[in-house]
Structure 1
Amino acid sequence: MAMTCGKRTAAGATGSSARPAGDGSPLRRRVLVSIVAVAACAVTVLTVPLAWSMDRLYRGGAVARLQRDAVWLAAGLPRDEAYGPGSGHSGHSGHSSQRPPAAAREALYTPAGRRLSGNGPPSSRVAEAARDGSLHQGVEGSHLAVSVPVARHGVVTAVVRVWTPWDSITDRRSGTWLLLAATGAAIVGLSVLLAVHLARRVAVPLERLTETARALGAGDFTIQPVRSGIREADAAGRALAATARRLGEVLERERSFSTAVSHQLRTPLTALVLGLEAARTQDDRGRRTALDTALRRADHLGETIDDLLRLARETHGGGEGIDAAEVLERIARRNRDAVAEAGRRLTVRCEPELPLARGSVAATVQVVQTLVDNALTHGRGEIRLTAVDVGAGVAIEVGDDGPGPAAEGDRVFESAEGPGRRHGIGLTLARSLAEAEGGRLLLRRAGPRPVFSLMLPAADPEAP
């Protein structure tokens, strides 16, 4: 076994469907209650002040009309005429033909609030209040009344009282209130319909995402969430679908990894068992030699298991620096006895000043070891390990003098069983490990004297 590897000098080298208890109220109900509550509050805030304002408006308008009629009547009364119970005043004047055709009723009262003439109650507190010389208004019984004083030489001698039925105002107010209530109820009803629509539009995509997540949890990695038109829900669906694809790829890779690992361990384990069985039939000296060989193979198997366990635990695609020369030296030491027992030769050649490669040392060792095992099992003659600088990275090549695999190109890495296709499982694992580390494993030269090449990217010189 010949080795001619130079040392590297690159800078920066280092190495379920059941709902859980107490999970809250459904989203549909929350959206529905929230929208209806907001609409009801808005309607209440708007209609109550409006109803109060309309009540004040109707009463104020009625009072203004009554005041106008009362002033008109008071202005038509004679100023020099005496009023009293015995005056015989009938409440009519020469100006009565000029009175406005108002619908209000009128009556003439004394300053003490007793009726002299006209239509009205026998006594009136509203009329009595006008003795102070001011206009007054109020509700008396079923009347809305307004009183206007009639003065003579600065002294109130009579009071004109006009009125209108209070029911006419309350009926109009009640009609307005009913209209406002009906309008508010219609608005709340429309808000209920809108809330049902919006609640369904928001809740259905989330319910579909829940079902999709359950399908993913059940092992369906082909999920495709339905688009809802809601940006956030669609983004969550796309993220869930991407996660499902990644989980499917990881699971498939782990399954392939487990299958390939069993194949990877079978060869050294078989060699160990055969060596121990052969030791049983030999003499003491041969048995000692066979046991020493078996121990070295057991160490080799232990290193392989440690590397595979490390690969199973670590995250692929790390930034660990790989010294290709050290990797090839490790592979050469590990396979020294196996190469010698096969009566073959192993040579290692490394270019000087090799840069560090980026990736996992354990994964790189397993890939190169797989290529060496493949050359030992299916190749012939000398096994050549080479590490060269390819500019953007490092290429580690394994070649021998055998006829090469029956398949060509990428088909040699396809896992297959049967005569002549035993390369598949180990090479499939090797390519999977290489790609997981950001590298590439390819058959650079097919046919006689085949050469497999592992391409690894260069490590970042500024990486710690």
Structure 2
Amino acid sequence: MRRRLTLLVAATTVLVLIAFLVPLAILVRQAAADKAVSQATVVLQTIVPLVGNNPDDQLSLSLQGQPVPVSVFTPSGAVLGEPAEQTPAVRLAASNLLAFTVATGSGREIVAPVAISGRGVYVVRTVVPDADLTRGVARSWLVLAGLGLTLVLLGLAVADRLARTLVAPIADLSAVSHRLARAELSARASPSGPPEVREVAGALNHLAGRIQDLLREEREQVADISHRLRTPLTALRLEVESLRDPGEAGRVAAAADSIERAVTLVIQQARRRGGERKSCDATTVVADRVAFWTVLAEDTDRLVRQELPDNPLLVALPADELAAALDALLGNVFAHTPDGTALAVTLRPHPSGGATLTVSDEGPGFPAQALLRGASGSGSTGLGLDIARRAAETGGGSLQVLTAPTGGALVRMDLAAAPLTEP
């Protein structure tokens, strides 16, 4: 936009200058020619009285040293002053007794007849060469061209300055809108520039505030719904205390604790301020969750293979979200493959930073609609893969559903590297 405004002003300025300078240049050339012709005419007017008052020999002396070369054609055919041939203009002036100026190939020819009683008709003639007709014109044109170029450059500078005052607020609005799209809901635009742009900035700020209010209400509603689950959990704990079998009571209590932790996590995530991201050590989180699921795998005769690095891998994802995503992927394996199906969990550093988490199994694989939220094709809620996908994308990564070499399902999560400093 800034370049277009500058080009528009430049084009307008050039057109105005052309409309002004071209006629002025023609006028300068005409003025120079008129000045040269006027000077020559004045010289001829001073010679005409001398023709009638002086004999030819004295007239010849008077013609010497004139500012312009002057020739006087006598009735006898002699030429006094500057030698020259008799031209058609001279003959016409002598026959018609008319003074006039005519253009020739070498310049302007000026003739003036002088009729003297008893002596005949004398013709005074001078020629203004083209060099005198255009004297100073080139220099004047250069001055006009320099003036035009200066005005164009000045117009471009002013246009760029004005365009910057228009474009800068718009660029600020664009940057704020991109920050809002990245869930930085605290971003606000500074109202500046023309009134229309200030109005747009105010509307964008109002929209951002409204989004914050709506999200805050939604988070509180989710937190309230999650908090209501604590009541049945409390009742479940009371039922656990009434169980007589210690082993069974321990298993049910562990399940209740796990549900309570999940509810607490939902409340914390719901109340987390939008745009605030944290990082974690993917090696530690994956190792902890694989150890948890390995115990369940032993109960269903599943072989769990894991490949984890020895060093920490920092990724741009909170530990609870990474754990929830991995739990969703492993939960899919346990829910949608028969007992005894082997699975593998691999965590490797990514070449461009971050990490690559892979969960594969030797089951039947995923249906075509597996990545659609709420569609599983196997009787479940269809949210497991979507939870993992959103967790990966929230941290700047991605998720892919592939086919394992054994024909089963393979889910690959690319996790972005954690920033150097926490926000």
Query: What TM-score do the two structures reach when normalised by structure 2?
Result: 0.48
The one of the two structures with greater contact order (alpha-carbon pairs below 8 A, sep at least 6) is 1
- Largest Rg, 1 or 2: 1
Query: What TM-score do the two structures reach when normalised by structure 1?
Result: 0.44
